[in-house]
Amino acid sequence: MISAGDFKNGITLDMDGQVFQIVEFQHVKPGKGAAFVRTKLKNVITGGVVEKTFRPTEKFPAARIDRVDMQYLYADGDMFNFMNTDNYEQISLNAETIGDALKFVKENDMCKICSYNGNVFSVEPPLFVELEVTDTEPGVAGNTATNATKPATAETGAQVTVPLFVNIGDKLKIDTRTGEYLSRV
C-alpha cells in the first residue's frame, strides 16, 4: 500500500478498479486546515488525465506494471510487430496503442512494452537513439554568431531541430523524451 504522503512521479496505483500513474504531485500545507496532496493522474489504459486531491494518510494499492524488453521488428500497415528476444514470442500492436512512441525508433531497436494484467497499454522507446540525417538545408557560412538552428529529417522520418553545422549523412544523438538534438556521433 502506498500512502498519499509518499507519492512520487511515475508511481502506478490501483484506484477503484482503474490504473493511474502519477504525472505530477504537490504537497500543500495551507495556513489553516489540514495538509493535502494535489495530484495529476493519468489513466494508463485510456490515457485520460484527471486532477485529484488526497489526504496524506489515504492509502492505495500499487498496481503491478510489467515492462518487458522487446525488439521492434517492422511495421505492417497499422500494425507494429515486436519480438521478445528471450523466448522469440512475437506480438503485434496497433497504431492507437503505439501513439508516437516509435517516432525515433528504427527496426531492430529494443523497446520496453508496458502491460497491466496482460493488456499492453504503451511502448517506451530507448531514452537516447542515434539516427542519420537524411534531409536538411545546408548551413550558411558566417551565420553562426548566435545559436542558430535549422530543421532536419532523421532516417525514421522524424523532424529534429539541429545546429547549422549538421549536414546530410551526419549521425545524431537524440533524446526520445523531448525530441531534442544532443550531439553528433
Enter the C-alpha cell of residue 156.
Answer: 525514421
Do 119 and 169 have their domain in common?
no
Do 73 and 42 have their domain in common?
no
Count of structural domains within the chain = 3
The reported pLDDT for the residue numbered 144 is: 59
CB distance 86 to 68 below 8 Å: no
Do 150 and 166 have their domain in common?
yes
Do 52 and 83 have their domain in common?
no
The reported pLDDT for the residue numbered 17 is: 81
Do 135 and 110 have their domain in common?
no
Cα(183)–Cα(164) distance, integer angstroms: 13
CB distance 101 to 93 below 8 Å: no
Cα(122)–Cα(116) distance, integer angstroms: 10
Structural domain ending residue among the three candidates 124, 149, 164: 124
CATH of the domain at 40: 2.30.30.30
Structural domain ending residue among the three candidates 45, 60, 75: 60
Do 120 and 70 have their domain in common?
yes
CATH of the domain at 117: 2.40.50.140
Do 101 and 113 have their domain in common?
yes
37: helix, strand or coil? strand
The reported pLDDT for the residue numbered 38 is: 92
Do 94 and 132 have their domain in common?
no
Do 174 and 140 have their domain in common?
yes
Do 108 and 142 have their domain in common?
no
Range of the domain at 26: 2-60
CB-based contacts of 91: which residues, under 8 Å, 6+ apart? 70, 81, 82, 84, 113, 120
Structural domain ending residue among the three candidates 76, 95, 124: 124
Mean pLDDT by 10 residues, the chain (185 residues): 85 86 88 89 84 90 88 88 90 83 86 84 86 85 70 88 87 87 85
The reported pLDDT for the residue numbered 51 is: 93
The reported pLDDT for the residue numbered 149 is: 84
Do 91 and 112 have their domain in common?
yes
